[in-house]
Every structure is written in C-alpha cells, then in structure tokens.
Chain A
Amino acid sequence: QSVLTQPPSASGTPGQRVTISCSGSSSNIGSNSVYWYQQLPETAPKLLIYRNNQRPSGVPDRFSGSKSGTSASLAISGLRSEDEADYYCATWDDSLSGVVFGGGTKLTVL
C-alpha cells in the first residue's frame, strides 16, 4: 500500500490528452513539492516534472504538472506511442522523514 495513491492504469489514443492523478496528505503533498518520473519498459526512471510543474531541459512541453492541496496531476497532451510507460509521482513525507512514491500508473496508448 503506497503512501501516495495513483490509478494503476490509464489509456488514450494518439493525439488525445490524458491526466494521471496522485493523492496524498498534509504531511507529504500538502507541504512539499511533487515530482513525476517516467519509466519506459526495461529502463531506469527519468525525471519528468520537478517542483510541481517545472520541466527539465529536453522534456517536451506536452508534459505538464500541477498541484492543489494534497493532490497533484500529470497531464500529457498530444499523446504519442512513445509515451507508453509507467509514471510515478513522488514527494517528501514530513512524518516518515523520507521520500514516498505513488504505486505507479501504466499508460497505454491505444
């Protein structure tokens, strides 16, 4: 059981916009920045969004992040086949004094 709750799966067709939610509590998302990671099949995770809504250089602007209260979301617009991957949210938890990850969302491009 993960501290952060994500839907196990999401899907969309090429060109569509999909969102992935991440729900937490006041001790984690409510008081710390949220980060999103993309893990393509058989590869190491890659930082996709940092500090709630910032994109590292090289990440397309099709990816965007937002945070409100104790929840966060990752939006992917103009969906492409290469976006098919697992997506994880993460943040610091003040009560646990550690990094916590969501359970991950497997995105399928139909």
Chain B
Amino acid sequence: EVQLVESGGGLVQPGRSLRLSCAASGFSFDEYAMHWVRQAPGKGLEWVSGISWNSGSRGYADSVKGRFTISRDNAKNSLYLQMNSLRPEDTALYYCAKGLGTMIVAAALDYWGQGTLVTVSS
C-alpha cells in the first residue's frame, strides 16, 4: 500500500524558514517523480514544485521560485521542501504527491499524503 506522510509544518514568522519532509513507502520511490501541492484555507489546489525520479529535473511555481527548493533522497525514500523567506500568503496545507511516471512534465499525481499545515504569521 502506497503511503505518503508529510511532516515539518507549523507556525512560523514571516521571513523565516521551514523544511517539510515526506516519507514514502509501499512503492519504488526512486522510479517516480514527486510533487508538492498546497491548498490555502478555503481555497483551491496550487502546484508548488516537482522533481523527477533522479533529481535531474525540477520545477517551481512562479509564486515560490527563488524561495523554495525541492529535493529528494532516494536512499531514504524521502522528499523535501526547503521554504525560505516565508510570506503570509504561503499559509496552506502542503501535500506531497507521487507522480505517475518518472518525469514532472505531467499533472499526473496518483497518490497524495494527508498534508502538513504551514502557518506564516507574526
């Protein structure tokens, strides 16, 4: 059974940093692209970032480019999102999602975690 468990969320002040983690199990982690998608309270889904199976390709939404960095450790079956210079508008539930294939060039997210809440406020 595929499982994705996010962690690392919490309350943080504007301008500070936070690192999210996603522990994956139940599939061959190193064979699939992975993504982060967020959902602000009461709002829709917003893709944040994606990374290919071998970290060779990474993509970011314009809203986070230059501030967030996605990475993965295939040996640890883990996905990460380093979030710097956080803003109040980054407040959201952050989901980790598995891609259907190896590359990020598709909106194919076939399994999702339950999310970790990030609140940016002073």
A residues whose Cβ falls under 8 Å from a Cβ of B: 2, 32-35, 37, 39, 44-47, 50-51, 56, 86, 88, 90-92, 96-104
- Residues of chain A contacted by B59 (CB below 8 angstroms): 97-99
Closest 4 CB pairs of A and B: A90-B107, A99-B47, A104-B44, A44-B112
- Residues of chain B contacted by A34 (CB below 8 angstroms): 107
B118 to chain A, nearest CB (A): 16
B108 at the interface (CB under 8 A from A): yes
Q: Is there contact, CB below 8 Å, between A98 and B109?
A: no
B35 to chain A, nearest CB (A): 7
Q: Is there contact, CB below 8 Å, between A32 and B106?
A: yes
- Residues of chain B contacted by A51 (CB below 8 angstroms): 108
Q: A44-B95, A45-B95, A92-B105 are in contact. Are A101 and B110 (CB under 8 A)?
A: no
Minimum CB distance partner of B57 in chain A: A97
- Residues of chain B contacted by A46 (CB below 8 angstroms): 112
B residues whose Cβ falls under 8 Å from a Cβ of A: 35, 37, 44-47, 50, 59-62, 95, 100, 104-115
Instruction: Report the bound CA distance from A86 to B107 in whole Å.
Output: 17
Q: Is there contact, CB below 8 Å, between B107 and A99?
A: yes
Q: A44-B115, A50-B100 are in contact. Are A101 and B47 (CB under 8 A)?
A: yes
- Residues of chain A contacted by B108 (CB below 8 angstroms): 33, 35, 47, 50-51
Instruction: Report the bound CA distance from A103 to B42 in whole Å.
Output: 12
Instruction: Report the bound CA distance from A46 to B97 in whole Å.
Output: 10
The contact sample of 27 A-B pairs, CB cut-off 8 A, is: A2-B44, A32-B106, A33-B106, A39-B45, A44-B114, A44-B115, A45-B37, A45-B95, A45-B109, A46-B112, A47-B109, A47-B110, A50-B110, A88-B44, A88-B45, A90-B45, A90-B107, A91-B107, A96-B62, A98-B47, A98-B60, A99-B59, A99-B104, A101-B44, A101-B47, A101-B107, A104-B45
Minimum CB distance partner of A47 in chain B: B110
Instruction: Report the bound CA distance from A99 to B47 in whole Å.
Output: 6
- Residues of chain A contacted by B112 (CB below 8 angstroms): 44-46
- Residues of chain A contacted by B50 (CB below 8 angstroms): 98-99
